[in-house]
């Protein structure tokens, strides 16, 4: 076994070991980040589902006949969702635009977001009076 | 003890080096695949959210502005539905611009609106058409249960159920 062969083997092995160590470190860091993103995405999903469940509960307990004022119904819907508990690290935002409510859930790190537009009329919280009303597009 | 045969060290070191590098690379590959899966899942959830918002918007318009279309299959809208929505209104309903403020801008194309097997149930399918995207458009499927008009109110939505998303994978 010559000195040259031993030296060359040592160089190859140490180079590969260094390279492998870096790859493992990087891979482990990515895996941890992925795990965190999965966890946060699940928390966002849970918070969104909780908000939607509160909206459905509001719909289930709505008056009969349904009111024709969808703006007031949107206000009540937003209040009902606001009263439902949100997830720990998840920020829940509610914004009213006309007859619609925007439900947003956000996380801080990593910054992820989900959002849904909820219309009281689509939840049965309000309905048109029997006499048809023309015009108006009902959009948010 | 005899010294190792000449030429043994270098192949051994090369083999060990290869194993180490391949191990590191396989971990990297697994992490990259996980990242790609996560991105796809995030996009899929975003599409579901947009389509559900679109379905909510469409139902609100139908209930409030065009209730006679609620129980009519989509194929009958041009004829029987003309009484409560003219052609341009029907076109706007069938190609709704999503007012969700998200990017890219999108329209929800009404693909299906017809009675389901259940009483007072309607099947709804919406295709999301995002600006600049022509292939593999996602379709959201929903089921809507309606409540018939009462003494003081018109048609009302009893329940809206999401049945899932088809297509839209990158």
Q: Which residue has the higher pLDDT, A17 or B131?
A: A17
Strands (E), chain B: 95-97, 106-115, 121-130, 139-147, 156-166
pLDDT > 90: what percent of chain B? 58
pLDDT at A21 over 80: yes
Give the chain A residue nearest B42 (alpha carbons). Answer: A41
pLDDT of residue A135: 42
> What pLDDT does B48 receive?
94
Contact A15 B17 (CB under 8 A): yes
Strands (E) across A1-137 are located at 91-97, 100-106, 113-118
- The 3-state DSSP class for residue B34 equals helix
What is the per-residue pLDDT across B6-46, written as a single tens digit (0 to 9) for each? 578 889 999 999 999 999 899 889 989 999 999 999 999 99
CB of A87 within 8 A of CB of A43? Answer: yes
Q: Which residues contact A84 (CB under 8 A, 6 or more apart)?
A: A50, A51, A53, A54
- Binding-face residues of B in 66-95 toward A, CB within 8 A: 67-68, 84, 92
The pLDDT tens digits of the residues spanning A41-53 come to 999 999 999 999 9
Instruction: ipTM value, please give it.
Output: 0.83
CA distances from A31 to A19, A25, B37 (A): 18, 10, 13
pTM of the model: 0.83
CA distance A69 to chain B (A): 10
Residue written as token pair 């399918």: B125
Ramachandran bin of B136, using left for φ above 0, alpha for ψ from -120 to 50, beta for the remaining angles = left
Structure-token match 């009263």, residue found: A83
């Amino acid at each position: 076994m010559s000195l040259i062969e031993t030296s060359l083997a040592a160089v190859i092995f140490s180079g590969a070991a260094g390279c492998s160590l870096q790859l493992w470190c990087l891979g482990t860091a990515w895996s941890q980040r992925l795990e965190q993103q999965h966890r946060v995405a699940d928390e966002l999903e849970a918070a969104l589902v909780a908000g939607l469940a509160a909206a459905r509960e509001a719909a289930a307990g709505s008056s009969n006949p349904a009111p024709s004022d969808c703006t007031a119904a949107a206000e009540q819907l937003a209040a009902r969702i606001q009263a439902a508990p949100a997830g720990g690290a998840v920020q829940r935002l509610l914004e009213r635009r006309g007859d619609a409510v925007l439900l947003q859930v956000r996380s801080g790190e990593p910054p992820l977001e989900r959002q849904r537009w909820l219309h009281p009329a689509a939840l049965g919280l309000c309905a048109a009076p029997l006499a048809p009303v023309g015009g108006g597009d009902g959009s948010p | 003890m005899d010294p190792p045969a000449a030429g043994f060290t270098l192949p051994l070191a090369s083999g060990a080096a290869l194993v180490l590098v391949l191990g590191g690379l396989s971990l990297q590959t697994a992490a990259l695949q996980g990242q790609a899966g996560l991105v796809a899942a995030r996009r899929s959830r975003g599409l579901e959210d947009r389509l559900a918002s679109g379905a909510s918007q469409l139902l609100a318009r139908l209930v409030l502005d065009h209730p006679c279309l609620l129980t009519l299959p989509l194929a009958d809208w041009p004829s029987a539905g003309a009484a409560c929505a003219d052609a341009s209104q029907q076109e706007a309903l069938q190609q709704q611009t999503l007012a969700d403020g998200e990017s890219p801008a999108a329209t929800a194309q009404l693909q299906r609106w017809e009675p389901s097997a259940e009483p007072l149930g309607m099947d709804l399918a919406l295709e999301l058409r995002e600006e600049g995207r022509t292939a593999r458009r996602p379709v959201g499927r929903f089921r809507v249960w309606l409540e018939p008009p009462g003494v003081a109110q018109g048609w009302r939505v009893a329940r809206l159920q999401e049945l899932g998303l088809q297509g839209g994978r990158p």
